[in-house]
Every structure is written in structure tokens, then in C-alpha cells.
Amino acid sequence: MNNPQENQPAGYVPPKVWVQKNTYGGAFGSSNRPVSGARFERALPIGEHPLQLYSQGTPNGQKVTIMLEELLAAGHAGAEYDAWLIDIFKGDQFGSGFTAVNPNSKIPALVDRSTGTAINVFESGSILVYLAEKFGAFLPTEHRARTETFNWLMWQMGTAPFVGGGLGHFYAYAPIKIEYAIDRYAMEVKRQLHVLDTHLAHHEFLAGDQYTIADMAVWPWQPGSLYGVYNTHEFVGVEEYTHLLRWYRAIAARPAVARGRIVNRTSGAPGEFLPERHHASDLDALLR
């Protein structure tokens, strides 16, 4: 890498009070603003199923579509869903309909219309818990195993910003390469990989011997995003974490995971992405 003095603005001193610039460059730079709320009027579409998902196939989006496909595979017919694409690269998340469901303007967001009055659910971890409790699946009832599941679910929710907003942003998306930032986040991501690898050396799944929503939450991020959207797997040496890879490959082999990981994706090789999903047959036709 370059010397830090060669890849960042020379002589920069933070002002006493931060003021937004006109542009920040890089992916998503033009969409970032210091205020929340809708930027334009657009109603959300509504399909025929009680569960309406508004999302994109990022690691956070994959958590929920994997969960929904796992529920369907387990025989929960009530988990049928419509998955509508919210293209975050085009700013769809700032439409009035979406911000009414999630005022934080982040995917994924779920609307459950099976309950009389529709229930809005946002934050991927919250959606996983909501669906697990609604259908009584993938969240253990035994106290110790349930606690372990929540331990790892909350671990993932807390660590994801270091992987995505940290290493992923500065390595893949930022308009300039800043050695200090990349090194700082690479160090933390490798620590996280070691945490998982050490734990999985003695456990089949994160919560022990049961496959749970904790596994569904971590899988797309660690090491999924490092192989996928950020392409940092070689940089951080993912292949050295053998116990983590054993777990990762076992989950990847699950048919419901193979289905859920491609929903609401907009790019990839043929058969690896499905921008919207409204019936099981949409995936059947793609994966046969």
C-alpha cells in the first residue's frame, strides 16, 4: 500500500463544527445525507401473500430470504412471501412508502399483513426473531440454547458495521485507498474470523448442535460478504480458518440457503440472481 501521506488529503484538520460537503465520491457518496425521511413520493407494491418483503440481496437482505425459504422448506406454508426489490443504488430506500415501513431507510423491511392490522418490522435481526417466534422455528425454546442463539445474533448485529461499513467500504468502495483505515478494519475483521473459527472448532453450529437464526444471520456476512460483495477473502486470508469454512460450506449446501441467497439480487452469473420473487415457482424455474 501507499504511504498514508500519499493517499489522503494533505494537511487536513477536522473543523470545529462539521459541515456537509456537496459530494463525497465513491459508491453511495451522493446518497448520503445527515437527515432522515422520505425524499420523494412512491407507494410500495403489495403482492398476494401475507408477508411482503422489501429488500435487496445484500448480506443483510439474504438473512431474511434464507429464513423465509427455510421456513417454507420446513413446511410452514404461511411463510409464503413476495420479495420486492428496493434498489439501494438507485435510492429506492428513500421513497415515502419505504420510509413509512422503516424510518431508517435501510433494507430489509417486512410487512406482515396476516394480522388484521399490518405490522411493520425492520432491522434484519428483528425480522429474524419476529419470524422465528411467529412460526415457532429456528429459535430454541430451551433456555440455554435460546440464550446462545441470541448471543450470536447480537454479536453479528454488532460486528457487521466493521465488516461492511468498515473494511468493505474502505477496501472496495471508498474513492481513495487509505492505508490506516484499511489496516484498522482488516485487523478487526480477522479477530472476528478467529472468534468464529475458535468457537466452531467445538460446535457444529453457533448455538451448539441446532441450526438457528444465528447461523442465518452470520453466514452471509462471515465469510459470505468477504467472498462476495467486498471480494476481500484473499486479503484477510479466509482460507486459514478451517473450522469456520467447514460450517460455512455445510450451510451453503442447504437447499433453502441456495434459494434464499439469490432472491432480490440484481447481478451475478446466470442462475445466481432473481430481482423479485413472488412464487416458489420463480426459484424453481431458475434453479432446476
Extents of the domains making up the chain: 51-138+261-287, 143-253
| pLDDT tens per residue across span 61-82 | 999 999 999 999 999 999 999 9
Q: Is the pTM of this model over 0.85?
A: yes
pLDDT at 3: 62
pLDDT at 271: 84
pLDDT at 166: 96
pLDDT at 103: 98
Class of 51-138+261-287 in CATH: alpha beta
Please name the amino acid found at residue 275.
P
| pLDDT tens per residue across span 163-220 | 999 999 999 999 889 999 999 999 999 999 999 999 999 999 999 999 999 999 999 9
pLDDT at 8: 63
Q: Which CATH number fits domain 143-253: 3.10.20.70, 3.90.1150.10, 3.40.50.720, 1.20.1050.10?
A: 1.20.1050.10
CB 58 within 8 A of CB 64: no
3-state secondary structure the chain: CCCHHHCCCCCCCCCCCCCCCCCCCCCCHHHCCCCCCCCECCCCCCCCCCEEEEECCCHHHHHHHHHHHHHHHCCCHHHCEEEEECCCCCCHHHEHHHHHHCCCCCCCEEEECCCCCCEEEECHHHHHHHHHHHHCCCCCCCHHHHHHHHHHHHHHHHHHHHHHHHHHHHHHHCCCCCHHHHHHHHHHHHHHHHHHHHHHCCCCECCECCCCHHHHHHCCCCCHHHHCCCCCHHHHCHHHCHHHHHHHHHHHCCHHHHHHCCECCCCCCCCCCECCECCHHHHHHHHC
Which residue ranges in the chain fall short of pLDDT 50? none
pLDDT at 268: 85
pLDDT at 29: 66
Neighbour-count burial of 147, counting CB atoms closer than 10 A to its CB (0-12 exposed, 13-18 middle, 19+ buried): exposed
pLDDT at 23: 64
